[in-house]
Amino acid sequence: MHDLTGFQRDLLYVIAGSDEPHGLAIKAELEEYYESEIHHGRLYPNLDTLVEKGLVEKGQADRRTNYYTITRRGRREIEARAEWQAQYVGSGGSDGGT
């Protein structure tokens, strides 16, 4: 996951936390988080990158709508990232001693 952009990581987290979301649902979730509009020209190429890297699978709900699911590899990457991140920010509600 070290080679992903922050935006791509966020896409991966949204897909992992959803049940076969379609592109517009992912877009809406990220727009709420970022509090700004996500353009299709940014969203879909980054989703395609996650598919190419084997982190996400793309299926077809109908002729116009694709859905996305996280792969086992994608799930492992998220778990590895969480372990790495915990080394630096900890877990369990610690306030850093303040």
Cα separations in angstroms, 64 against 24, 40, 56, 61: 12, 14, 19, 8
Q: What is the pLDDT of residues 49-83, one digit of tens each?
A: 999 999 999 999 888 899 999 999 999 999 999 99
Q: How many CB atoms lie within 10 A of CB 10?
A: 18
**Domain limits, the chain:** 6-81
pLDDT at position 90? 76
User: Residue 58 is inside which H or E element, if any?
Assistant: strand 56-60
Residue 93: which pLDDT band, with cuts at 50, 70 and 90? low
Q: How many CB atoms lie within 10 A of CB 71?
A: 16
Q: What is the pLDDT of residues 18-57, one digit of tens each?
A: 999 999 999 999 999 999 999 999 999 999 999 999 999 9
Degrees, nearest 5: CA angle 93-94-96: 150
CATH of 6-81, one of 3.90.1150.10, 1.10.3720.10, 1.10.150.300, 1.10.10.10: 1.10.10.10
- Distance CA(84)–CA(37), nearest Å, equals 30
pLDDT at position 1? 75
Sign of CA dihedral 69, 49, 85, 32: negative
Which of the pair, 1 or 58, is modelled with greater confidence?
58
